Structure 1
C-alpha cells in the first residue's frame, strides 16, 4: 500500500520528544508520513560544551539537509535548545523548516499574556525559551518571562511516568504562578504530557510545543500545496 500524504521529517535530540511530536502531528495531519531522525548525543554534547558550537550547529544542519535531499516536504525540530539553528538553516531550502516551539510562544503573545512562567528540565533549554518569548513579543518587553529548571522532571519523563512528571513540576509551577505568571509554558516536548494536569491545578493556561508546531506545519504545508 502506497502512502500519499506529506512527508514530514522530525529532527530529535532526545528520544523523549518523539512520542509527543508524532501524536500531535498524526492528530493534526492524519495522512502524514513521518520520518524521525535522532541524534541522541546532541543534548549531552551541548551540556558538555556549555555553548552552541559550530560543530553542533553543523550536526543539526546535516540532519535537516539529509531530510531535504530525501524529498521531505517539511522538517520540524523538536529540541528547544537548538531552536536558533533554524534561523540559519531554513533559508537554504524552499520547503518549511520550523522551530520546535516558536508557534507556541506566538500563541501565548496572541492570547495577551504579559507575564509567563517557563518550565524546563534542563538548564540548556532556559535561555532559548526566554529568547523565544522576546522574539514572539516582537523584540519588546511586552511579555516577560520567569524560568524554573526542574531536573527531577527529566527522570520522570524518561520513565514515561506522567504522575511523577506532574509531581516534579508542581512546586516549580506554583512558584511561577505565585510570582505573577498568567500562563505556564512547557519548554520541552518531553514535558508536554503534564500540560492538562498543571492547567487544571493552577487555573491558568498551560501551553506545550507539540500541538502548536503541528498546527504550524499543517498551515505551511497547506500554503505549499
Structure 2
C-alpha cells in the first residue's frame, strides 16, 4: 500500500513519518513538498483559484503514481483540499486536521486550538461543528524559531502559550510541525493533547484496512 503525503512546510515530513512508524508502519510513504505554497499564501493573504489549481495538480500526480490514499499536511489550505476530494472521488483524500477535529469533538465541547502559522487560525475553525467552543492560540515566534533550527525555543514557546488553555477540555495542535511539542504542551496545560499526525494515521488506517 502506498500513501502520498503532500506538504507545504518543510517541517511537516518528520512528524508524520514518525506517526506512521509508531502507529501503522506497513504502508510505503511518498513525500511531495512544495514549501512555496505556505510562502505564497502568506504573501497573498487568501486562497486563490491559482492555488486551488496547484493543489489539484498535486493530487492528480499523487493518484497517478498509484497512491492508495492521500494526506495533505498543512492545515491552512482546507478549501483547496476539498477541491481535491471532489476531483478524486475514488481515492481517500484527508485534510491534515479532519481526523483530529473528530477526536477533539469526542473529548469535549471546549477545544484549545494552537497554531504557529496565522492563516491556520483563519481557515480551520469553520471545519469544527456547531456547538464547539474554540479557544484559538497563535504561538508568536515559534515558527520563526523552528525555521531557524531552534526546536527547543519552539517547544518552550508552545508550552508557555498552553498555560492559558487549562480551562479547555482538550488541546488540539493544529499543525504537523507542532507535534514535536505535544509532551511539553501537555505538561504545561494538564489537558489531553491531540496531534494532527497521530489522528490522521489512525483514520487512514481505519479507512484502508
Query: Which of the five TM-score ranges fits, normalised by the shorter chain?
Result: over 0.9
- 1:158-173 → structure 2 map (5 Å cutoff): 158-159=147-148, 161-173=150-162
- Partner SS, residue 114 of structure 2: strand
CA separation in 2, counterparts of 1:57 and 1:218? 27
1:152-190 per-position Cα deviation (integer Å, ceiling 9, x unaligned): 11133335544322211123222233xx32221111110
- 1:124-163 → structure 2 map (5 Å cutoff): 124-132=119-127, 134=128, 137=129, 140-141=130-131, 143-159=132-148, 161-163=150-152
Corresponding residue to 2:3 among 1, 8, 12 = 8
In the alignment, is the contact (CA less than 8 A) between 1:118 and 1:129 conserved in 2? no
Of the structure 1 ranges 101-110 and 84-93, higher mean CA displacement relative to structure 2 is found in: 84-93
What do you get for the CA RMSD once the two structures are aligned? 1.5
Corresponding residue to 2:94 among 70, 93, 98 = 98
Unpaired runs of at least 5, structure 1:
1-5
Unpaired runs of at least 5, structure 2:
none
- Partner SS, residue 46 of structure 2: coil
Q: Of the two, which has the highest radius of gyration? A: 1
- 1:177-188 → structure 2 map (5 Å cutoff): 177=166, 180-188=167-175
1:56-89 per-position Cα deviation (integer Å, ceiling 9, x unaligned): 1111111111010111111100000012322221
Of the structure 1 ranges 17-26 and 72-81, higher mean CA displacement relative to structure 2 is found in: 17-26
TM-score in terms of structure 2 length: 0.93
- 1:51-130 → structure 2 map (5 Å cutoff): 51-93=46-88, 94-111=90-107, 113-130=108-125
Shift of 1:101: 1.2
CA separation in 1, counterparts of 2:76 and 2:3? 21
Of the structure 1 ranges 163-172 and 65-74, higher mean CA displacement relative to structure 2 is found in: 163-172
CA separation in 2, counterparts of 1:118 and 1:49? 24
